[in-house]
A and B are shown apart, each in its own frame.
Chain A
């Protein structure tokens, strides 16, 4: 599993709406004004292709911050 900074950089590279540097480990990503359900799909896709880890909608609902998402993926790799 990537270091959290690499993980965040990968998310930012997939989401054009976000200015690089916007996301931090403690970012409550769902509260970002740019965030939408489409971005949740992008996050699930990234987890599948980069880490071969399946995330459900319920998994994401339980994750408040990007650190939570990173930790969840780490526990499944």
Chain B
């Protein structure tokens, strides 16, 4: 089992950047008013921020990282590690983390690499940063997460278009010998088709059929370079696996669930997250949501929720449970404690 504890990781700051441009689900005219009302009530998503063409996930992460470095008064020469978690990189190659190392003006002594994960990516990324920083060989690290999902969805597909928003985040992490964190990481590739962009990689290179639109059912028209989502399967997977993963982590860490201040879940949709919350018997005031304004922002959703919803809470010691679940299928949870997280206001780029 990928169930482990790590000493030495402390989150010092979190910043998030989103596009200024917004789409409102109330204006989504491809479905009836009754369907819109049901959609907004069930998913909890009213608006989403959508990037303009040419803007990439790394651009938003760069803005977030620059703000964080400035406000933390970090010396760039002390940043030894950059990890970029995304499924919408600038290029197939080179890795976006390395482009970010250069754009942020970080030294050539910085280690940089990408991790390809979506909804579970923030927790996985934290676990990798934690493990590396616990060696004592890295002083400061930047974990950058997010996605521009709008590039792969279309208004013609009502099963994806109203759900996803764009965002990039940066989390500043330092070595701190007094801290201890716990992680539980899982995966199941048998569910790969539940969320997939079928064409564009080496398995199915772009070909003459890639961009032929197909009507799968009424209101769902898509081509093979779009994101395909089987909502029922993802829902069933998430409400079954996420609570069980979290319970296992709680038992392993020997942490009393009642002592946790906030349970920050990946922002998938309201009904799904509320089902997970109820199964875990967590009071609603401990489970924040950023869904209403930002929608599902993939690996950015946990840090974006902290920055946008809990900014007033982060300057004092807190105990956190993070849980991410989705594309892969991949899911993970983390328990950690913080002293003082600096959170600049959400940046609107």
A residues with a Cβ closer than 8 A to B are 16-17, 36-38, 40-42, 44-45, 48-49, 52, 54-57, 60
**Pair B236/A57 contact, Cβ less than 8 Å:** yes
Q: Which of B99-144 contact A (CB under 8 A)?
A: none
- A17-B34, A45-B239 are known; give 10 further A-B pairs, CB within 8 A: A16-B41, A38-B39, A40-B232, A42-B42, A45-B274, A48-B240, A49-B278, A56-B236, A57-B236, A60-B232
B237-280 interface code vs A (CB 8 A; 1 in, 0 out): 00110000000000000000000000000000001101100110
**Pair B42/A55 contact, Cβ less than 8 Å:** no
User: Inside 8 A of A52's CB, which chain B residues have their CB?
Assistant: 279
Tell me whether B154 is interfacial, beta carbon within 8 Å.
no
User: Assuming A36-B35, A37-B159, A38-B39, is B233 touching A45 (CB within 8 A)?
Assistant: no
Q: In the complex, which residue of chain B has the Cβ closest to the Cβ of A61?
A: B232
Interface residues on B, range: 20 to 34
Q: Which of B200-255 contact A (CB under 8 A)?
A: 230-233, 235-236, 239-240
User: Inside 8 A of A16's CB, which chain B residues have their CB?
Assistant: 38, 41
> In the bound complex, what is the Cα–Cα distance between A16 and B40 (angstroms)?
13
**Pair A44/B232 contact, Cβ less than 8 Å:** yes
> In the bound complex, what is the Cα–Cα distance between A17 and B35 (angstroms)?
10
User: Assuming A45-B271, A52-B279, is B236 touching A37 (CB within 8 A)?
Assistant: no
User: Inside 8 A of A42's CB, which chain B residues have their CB?
Assistant: 42, 271
**Pair B239/A36 contact, Cβ less than 8 Å:** no
> In the bound complex, what is the Cα–Cα distance between A54 and B230 (angstroms)?
16
> In the bound complex, what is the Cα–Cα distance between A45 and B239 (angstroms)?
8
**Pair A41/B235 contact, Cβ less than 8 Å:** yes
**Pair A54/B239 contact, Cβ less than 8 Å:** yes
> In the bound complex, what is the Cα–Cα distance between A17 and B230 (angstroms)?
24
**Pair B34/A48 contact, Cβ less than 8 Å:** no
**Pair A48/B275 contact, Cβ less than 8 Å:** yes
**Pair A48/B42 contact, Cβ less than 8 Å:** no
> In the bound complex, what is the Cα–Cα distance between A36 and B232 (angstroms)?
12
Q: In the complex, which residue of chain A has the Cβ closest to the Cβ of B194?
A: A57
User: Assuming A54-B236, A57-B230, is B42 touching A38 (CB within 8 A)?
Assistant: yes
User: Inside 8 A of A17's CB, which chain B residues have their CB?
Assistant: 34, 38
User: Inside 8 A of A45's CB, which chain B residues have their CB?
Assistant: 235, 239, 271-272, 274-275
User: Inside 8 A of A37's CB, which chain B residues have their CB?
Assistant: 159, 231-232
Q: In the complex, which residue of chain A has the Cβ closest to the Cβ of B34?
A: A17
The 9 closest A-B pairs by CB, nearest first: A57-B232, A45-B275, A49-B278, A54-B240, A56-B236, A38-B42, A48-B239, A48-B275, A38-B38
- A41, A48, A49: the one contacting B232 at CB < 8 Å is A41
**Pair B279/A49 contact, Cβ less than 8 Å:** yes
Q: In the complex, which residue of chain B has the Cβ closest to the Cβ of A50?
A: B278
> In the bound complex, what is the Cα–Cα distance between A66 and B167 (angstroms)?
41
> In the bound complex, what is the Cα–Cα distance between A65 and B275 (angstroms)?
24
> In the bound complex, what is the Cα–Cα distance between A42 and B231 (angstroms)?
12
User: Inside 8 A of B41's CB, which chain A residues have their CB?
Assistant: 16
For residue A12, give the distance in angstroms from its CB to the closest CB of chain B.
Answer: 15
**Pair A41/B240 contact, Cβ less than 8 Å:** no
User: Inside 8 A of A57's CB, which chain B residues have their CB?
Assistant: 230, 232-233, 236
> In the bound complex, what is the Cα–Cα distance between A55 and B239 (angstroms)?
10
> In the bound complex, what is the Cα–Cα distance between A45 and B272 (angstroms)?
7
User: Assuming A52-B279, A54-B236, A54-B240, is B38 touching A41 (CB within 8 A)?
Assistant: no
